[in-house]
Structure 1
Amino acid sequence: MNEEKQNDDIQFLSSFLESQKELYETLHALDRSEYWHNEDLLKTSDDEERCARIADGNEFDGNLFRNLFTTEDFAEAMRLLKNRIEQIPRIISHIANREKELKEEARVRESQDKVERPILHANQISILKFLAEQQTPQTYREIGRGTGLSIRTIQDRLKEFEDLEYVFRPAGPKTRQGVTVTEQGREAIADF
């Protein structure tokens, strides 16, 4: 659920809660015989259905918000209405807490990504920078000419980079097997 929808649901539930409190006060002040003369109370309104769906989607019983006044017992209807009024703040709290949890999980994942990124040494950085500047896959010899590093050093570093998914070997003829930098490889040198 995105943050905008969560905020919209919280605002809707807060407004719905106020309307339910007003309804409770109004019905409490009515003569019980007047209660049964309002046919609109016997139908589930669009707002009640929306509230029920939000409740269902957040692991609460949405049926509490559907057909509240189908009971002929006024006291039972008032008890159910009071349960609604008590349940809505719990749903709001659940949505708000879930939003905080999701933000925290995203923050933790982001910090783990940063922590798990290995420290690059100068020769590793020079290889990745060289590859990032090239338009086509490069052979070991071309990388050596561009960086001044030995073929053996390049082979060792490229094997490490393949394991980290910093470079990619595109399919091609055996005489022209080269490597190219991946998006992860570009991100690894973004700060250099």
Structure 2
Amino acid sequence: MGSELNYVLDKNSMLSGALKYKITSYNTNKDLNSRGYIAEVKYKRALYEENPFLLTLSSTYENSSKVNGDRTDVDFSSLTYKVEVSKEVFPKLMGSLSYAYLDKDFDKTDVSFLTKREDNQDIYALNFMYKLSEDTSLNSGVSYIDQDSNHAPFEYDKTLFYVSFFKSF
């Protein structure tokens, strides 16, 4: 649940802001249930009239608080900075390339490490969206995530591949 406000700066650029309330609910582990909010600011600019690209710069703040339980990995605040370039590659096919940096600080001291956990992620992504019709699209992409943490078990790198289908009603 949330709201978004868009403001057109000129014919090539737009500024937007959003505030969302988030509820996360798990059936199998209620100690992971949380509530929080997300605040986001985006700047979008169309570059080059002949062969246009869309440049998007965004910053997102997220805060999460546990509903119940004693887990130390549910209460956190995070800040993400992202830059994305997108372009129509062919008619009906959009492609985008992005980089994001996420800084996530947990509020509670971990009983195993006796410190508060702090994670940082570098996220590189390549995505494609093919518009099948006005209300359907096929999406695919790959992303590489490199996570550093002051708690060694939470340091990792991984590559994600996805394919999805969207239908609007």
Higher relative contact order (CA 8 A, sep 6+): 1
Q: Based on CA coordinates, which of the two structures has the bigger radius of gyration? A: 1
* Common fold: TM-score over 0.5: no
TM-score by length of 1: 0.15
TM-score by length of 2: 0.17
Is the helix fraction higher in 1 or 2?
Answer: 1
Is the strand fraction higher in 1 or 2?
Answer: 2
